[in-house]
């Protein structure tokens, strides 16, 4: 199969197009279930409202989805991968403050993972209320069961059922097109809604028309997924399939508008617009297809949340948590803690709101912010990486800012419907903010020294017969980027109190690259067969397995007869053929000697609290506990400057 220079499959095949349909368009593809219905609401059905609503939806899909995401944002591929963290990795060197929009964008994308599954699945299942004899069926328990099963099966991986996602979504979009075109043929005059004149009339002349943008925005809430899932499909497959998907979506929206104007009466009166345009004989199959499509949409969003948290951990935006590999497929992961949080959030959403109609009033605010943050990062990418003309980029910024700020203002009105949701977003934001900026402070107080000046002492210690051997191979994880540098705390660990004698001292540096799937290493021998520095380059989408990497590196060196490791003892014996090595991890704790200012005190105390809640360092780096020694060292950020301690002098009485 042909591959582009970034490694992503570039050959366009029927299979690759089906994969794109199954992965990319779940969220935006299921929006006809509720988007136009939300615009109409309980308002009187008029030509201005209906045609204006469809016109706004059409031009939103043109400006936001087609121009911004499909044309522009897909240009920002990081070795073939997309998403807000991939974009941040490309531009972070051009502005330290870019961490803030990245955190905001990631926060709101994760928040979207709690409301999209329940609103999508509920919209589909509520079609049962239109089936004769099922008018009063309780849909909430059905939605809860479907969502619970979906989250339960995440731990087993989705690689097997994932094969049917593409064909099912192809059937779904074909159904949207046929339903829409059947109404358009009957009432072809509805096509005039594509004129921007009707969008202008709705926003300017219709009473409170501007505020309807909050409902219009529902049609493009899945646009971020087009970019986030870039690595699964490649930009060519996305751009080609989007043409098909867009035609199907617009057809369905126009068909709904045609039905409203000619058969909708004066008001919707709680009717489900999407199912009204279906013939009665197709209602049950249509509900089944819609439900499966919304489950696929939810699955894509859940998988995207796992990837987002994984990238956040590797770019130091999130505390370390356990990550599982449910299958051997590259990039497919499962994060139990995220799965449980999303499941609990989704169930609370459906229990609280009870219906998709009520959820529409709370939906869209988070994604608006995510899109605004992507716009900021994208402008930096276009200027500094693609070297576009600044005036052209500023023009695009003004265009997208106008559209997105308008959507944001219209969605602000939804805050009163979703106030409880803000606590979840605040929790995510504060976790990312604290972890990122507290680590910056922590790293600022990491002192590096020249390893060369300690080489004579290391050689002397290694040959000292009075000191018991600690390990044949002693391995330290180091943050030092430079070949000859090492943390001062590592030197103290080797020599202070009980000196650590070893035959070979290894210093492993894990270098997180801006590319997603890099996995390579290089070696520097600082002292012949005695002090060795290893740099392991790991992409930000890979979970490190440091111990396996170290064993592989040692085996490579022995096989290649390098560094004379093949002729010296490795600590193995006739009782145990495994080499004798020991990893030392040095963990910091907040010293009682500190005297903090307010911001630093809150940041650092919160950081160490999150660190205790998160995954241990040995698990995060992929080390077996039996091969690890944990040492603790105090972090003295701001030592107490003045101690009011006075000695009491007792005078002896004169006899």
What is the distance between the alpha carbons of residues 418 and 369, in angstroms, rounded to a whole number?
A: 15
In this structure, is residue 653 part of a structural domain?
A: no
Residue 449: what are its φ and ψ, rounded to 5°? -130, 165
> Do residue 47 and residue 105 come from a single domain?
yes
What is the distance between the alpha carbons of residues 339 and 354, in angstroms, rounded to a whole number?
A: 22
> Do residue 414 and residue 464 come from a single domain?
no
The tens digit of pLDDT for each residue in 359-388 reads 877 777 888 888 999 999 999 999 998 899
Per-residue tokens: 97: 């403050």
Most confident of 214-218, 394-398, 482-486: 394-398
In this structure, is residue 591 part of a structural domain?
A: yes
**Helices 14-24 and 165-186, packing angle to 10 deg:** 80
- Contact in structure between 519 and 535 (CB atoms under 8 Å): no
The tens digit of pLDDT for each residue in 214-266 reads 889 889 888 887 888 777 777 888 889 999 999 999 999 999 999 999 887 78
Return the C-alpha torsion angle 228, 96, 392, 403, nearest 10: 60
Higher model confidence: residue 89 or residue 163?
89
Per-residue tokens: 390: 């600044």
Last residue of a domain, one of 439, 464, 488: 439
Contacts of 496 (CB under 8 A, 6+ apart): none
> Do residue 419 and residue 516 come from a single domain?
no
Within 10 Å of residue 575's Cβ, how many Cβ atoms?
Answer: 5
Residue 79's pLDDT band (boundaries 50, 70, 90)?
confident
What is the distance between the alpha carbons of residues 184 and 335, in angstroms, rounded to a whole number?
A: 45
Which candidate, 552, 636, 555, places its Cα nearest to that of 588?
636
Which of 126-135, 520-529, 532-541, 557-566 has the lowest average pLDDT? 557-566
> Do residue 197 and residue 277 come from a single domain?
yes
Residue 7's pLDDT band (boundaries 50, 70, 90)?
very low
Residue 185's pLDDT band (boundaries 50, 70, 90)?
very high
Domain count, the chain: 2
Looking at residue 572, its pLDDT comes to 62
Looking at residue 8, its pLDDT comes to 44
> Do residue 126 and residue 168 come from a single domain?
yes
Q: What's 417-433 look like in SS3? A: HCCCHHHHHHHHHHHHH
In this structure, is residue 257 part of a structural domain?
A: yes
Last residue of a domain, one of 406, 421, 439: 439
Report the predicted TM-score, pTM, of the whole model to 2 decimal places: 0.80
In this structure, is residue 125 part of a structural domain?
A: yes
- Contact in structure between 227 and 74 (CB atoms under 8 Å): yes
- Contact in structure between 29 and 242 (CB atoms under 8 Å): no
**Helices 365-380 and 84-91, packing angle to 10 deg:** 30
Looking at residue 12, its pLDDT comes to 79
What is the distance between the alpha carbons of residues 275 and 126, in angstroms, rounded to a whole number?
A: 10
> Do residue 416 and residue 533 come from a single domain?
no
> Do residue 432 and residue 476 come from a single domain?
no
- Contact in structure between 294 and 29 (CB atoms under 8 Å): no
Q: What is the mean pLDDT of residues 510-520?
A: 80
Q: Sign of the CA dihedral 564, 569, 571, 577?
A: positive
Q: State the residue range of the domain holding 523.
A: 445-635
Residue 45: what are its φ and ψ, rounded to 5°? -75, 110
In this structure, is residue 3 part of a structural domain?
A: no
Percent of the chain with pLDDT over 90: 22
Mean residue pLDDT across the chain: 83
> Do residue 452 and residue 419 come from a single domain?
no
What is the distance between the alpha carbons of residues 360 and 365, in angstroms, rounded to a whole number?
A: 11
The tens digit of pLDDT for each residue in 306-340 reads 888 888 887 888 888 887 776 555 556 788 888 99
> Do residue 337 and residue 319 come from a single domain?
yes
Residue 196's pLDDT band (boundaries 50, 70, 90)?
very high
The tens digit of pLDDT for each residue in 44-65 reads 889 999 999 999 999 999 999 9
**Alpha carbon separation from 208 to 7, 49, 211 (Å, rounded):** 50, 11, 6
Contacts of 529 (CB under 8 A, 6+ apart): 504, 563, 564, 565, 568
CATH code assigned at 67? 1.20.1740.10
- Contact in structure between 654 and 516 (CB atoms under 8 Å): no
Looking at residue 568, its pLDDT comes to 62
In this structure, is residue 285 part of a structural domain?
A: yes
> Do residue 451 and residue 330 come from a single domain?
no
What is the distance between the alpha carbons of residues 314 and 260, in angstroms, rounded to a whole number?
A: 50
Q: Sign of the CA dihedral 61, 64, 65, 71?
A: positive
Within 10 Å of residue 647's Cβ, how many Cβ atoms?
Answer: 4
In this structure, is residue 357 part of a structural domain?
A: yes
Higher model confidence: residue 15 or residue 66?
66
Half-sphere exposure (Cβ direction) of 553: Cα atoms closer than 13 Å: 23
User: Residue 645 has what DSSP assignment?
Assistant: -
> Do residue 366 and residue 501 come from a single domain?
no
What is the distance between the alpha carbons of residues 371 and 29, in angstroms, rounded to a whole number?
A: 18
Q: What is the mean pLDDT of residues 285-295?
A: 91
Looking at residue 5, its pLDDT comes to 40
**Alpha carbon separation from 66 to 61, 121, 127, 175, 400 (Å, rounded):** 6, 26, 30, 22, 12
Contacts of 335 (CB under 8 A, 6+ apart): 306, 309, 310, 321, 322, 323, 324
First CA to last CA distance, the chain: 105
In this structure, is residue 426 part of a structural domain?
A: yes
> Do residue 410 and residue 460 come from a single domain?
no
Looking at residue 332, its pLDDT comes to 65
Last residue of a domain, one of 401, 418, 439: 439
Looking at residue 593, its pLDDT comes to 64
């Amino acid at each position: 199969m042909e591959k582009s220079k970034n490694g992503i499959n570039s050959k366009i095949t029927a299979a690759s197009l089906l994969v794109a349909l199954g992965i990319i368009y779940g969220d935006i593809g299921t929006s006809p279930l509720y988007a136009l219905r939300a615009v109409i609401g309980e308002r009187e059905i008029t030509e201005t409202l209906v045609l204006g609503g469809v016109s706004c939806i059409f031009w939103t899909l043109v400006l936001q989805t087609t121009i911004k995401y499909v044309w522009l944002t897909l240009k920002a591929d990081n070795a073939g991968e997309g998403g807000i963290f991939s974009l941040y990795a490309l531009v972070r060197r051009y502005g330290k403050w870019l961490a803030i929009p990245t955190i905001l964008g990631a926060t709101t994308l994760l928040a979207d993972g709690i409301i999209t599954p329940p609103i999508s699945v509920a919209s589909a299942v509520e079609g049962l209320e239109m089936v004769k004899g099922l008018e009063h069926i309780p849909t909430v328990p059905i939605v809860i069961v479907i969502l619970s099963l979906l989250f339960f099966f995440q731990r087993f991986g989705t690689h097997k059922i994932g094969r049917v996602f593409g064909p099912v979504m192809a059937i779904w979009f074909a159904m949207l097109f046929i339903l829409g075109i059947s109404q358009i043929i009957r009432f072809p005059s509805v096509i005039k809604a594509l004129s921007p004149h009707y969008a202008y009339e709705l926003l300017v002349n219709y009473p409170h028309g501007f505020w309807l943008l909050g409902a219009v925005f529902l049609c493009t809430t899945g646009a971020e997924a087009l970019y986030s899932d870039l690595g699964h499909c490649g930009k060519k497959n996305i751009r080609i399939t989007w043409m098909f998907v867009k035609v199907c979506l617009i057809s369905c929206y126009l068909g709904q508008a045609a039905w409203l104007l000619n058969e909708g009466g004066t008001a919707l009166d709680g009717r489900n617009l999407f199912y009204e345009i279906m013939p009665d004989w197709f209602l049950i199959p249509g509900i089944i297809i819609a439900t499966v499509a919304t489950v696929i949409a939810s699955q894509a969003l859940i998988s995207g949340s796992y990837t987002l948290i994984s990238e956040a951990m590797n770019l130091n935006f999130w505390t370390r948590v356990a990550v599982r590999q449910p299958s051997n497929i590259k990039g497919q992961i499962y994060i139990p803690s995220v799965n449980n949080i999303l499941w609990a959030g989704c169930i609370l959403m459906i229990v609280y709101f009870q219906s998709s109609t009520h959820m529409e009033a709370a939906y869209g605010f988070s994604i608006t912010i995510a899109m605004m943050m992507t716009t900021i990062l994208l402008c930096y990418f276009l200027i500094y990486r693609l070297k576009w003309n600044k005036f052209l980029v500023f023009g695009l910024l003004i265009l997208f800012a106008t559209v997105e700020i308008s959507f944001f203002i219209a969605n602000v009105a939804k805050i009163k419907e979703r106030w409880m949701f803000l606590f979840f977003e605040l929790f995510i934001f504060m976790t990312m903010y604290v972890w990122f900026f507290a680590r910056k402070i922590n790293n600022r107080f990491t002192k590096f020294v020249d390893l060369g000046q300690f080489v004579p002492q290391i050689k002397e210690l290694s040959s000292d017969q009075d000191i018991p051997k600690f390990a044949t191979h002693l391995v330290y994880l180091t943050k030092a980027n430079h070949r000859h540098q090492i943390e001062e705390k590592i030197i103290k660990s080797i020599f202070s109190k009980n000196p650590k004698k070893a035959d070979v001292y290894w210093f492993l540096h894990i270098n997180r690259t801006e590319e997603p799937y890099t996995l390579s290493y290089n070696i520097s021998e600082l002292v012949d067969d005695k002090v060795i520095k290893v740099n392991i380059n790991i992409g930000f989408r890979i979970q490190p397995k440091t111990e396996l990497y170290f064993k592989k590196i040692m085996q490579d060196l022995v096989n290649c007869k390098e560094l004379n490791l093949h002729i010296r003892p490795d600590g193995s014996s006739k009782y145990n053929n495994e080499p004798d090595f020991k990893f030392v991890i040095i963990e910091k704790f907040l010293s009682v000697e500190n005297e903090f200012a307010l911001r630093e005190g809150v940041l650092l105390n919160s950081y160490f609290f999150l660190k205790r809640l998160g995954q241990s360092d040995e698990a995060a780096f992929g080390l077996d506990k039996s091969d690890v020694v944990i040492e603790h060292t105090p972090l003295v950020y701001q030592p107490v400057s003045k101690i009011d301690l006075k000695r009491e002098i007792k005078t002896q009485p004169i006899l």
